[in-house]
Amino acid sequence: MTVGVFAIFDQKSGYLTPTFEPNDLTAERNFEHACCNRSSVLWSHPSDFSLRKIGVYDTESGLICALSDGVRTIAEAGPIVSHIKSCEEVR
């Protein structure tokens, strides 16, 4: 089985420690959840952060491979945090 290798990219410092997720949707959901944490730097500086898929991990062979089409941006923290804040204003 293969799983995705994902990392948050910080405009100020580069890539953070990668995580392994079964698919892009799960990775995106977990990133969105992290963005909701009001004590997080993702919340306080959302324009600095994006979630990127950087590779795939084969659980059978133990190999980590780069994506053939390069690194892909899955989600940006800015729009996520903006959406949450706008929904709160409506309440």
The pLDDT, as a whole number, for residue 77 is: 97
The pLDDT, as a whole number, for residue 61 is: 97
Do 72 and 13 meet the contact criterion of CB atoms below 8 Å apart?
Answer: no
Contacts of 17 (CB under 8 A, 6+ apart): 7
The pLDDT, as a whole number, for residue 84 is: 87
In the predicted model, residues of the chain with pLDDT beneath 50 are none
Q: Which residues pair with 53 in a beta bridge?
A: 6, 72
pTM of the model: 0.91
Q: How far apart are CA 91 and CA 89, in angstroms?
A: 5
The pLDDT, as a whole number, for residue 42 is: 96
CA-closest candidate to residue 83, choices 40, 32, 41: 32
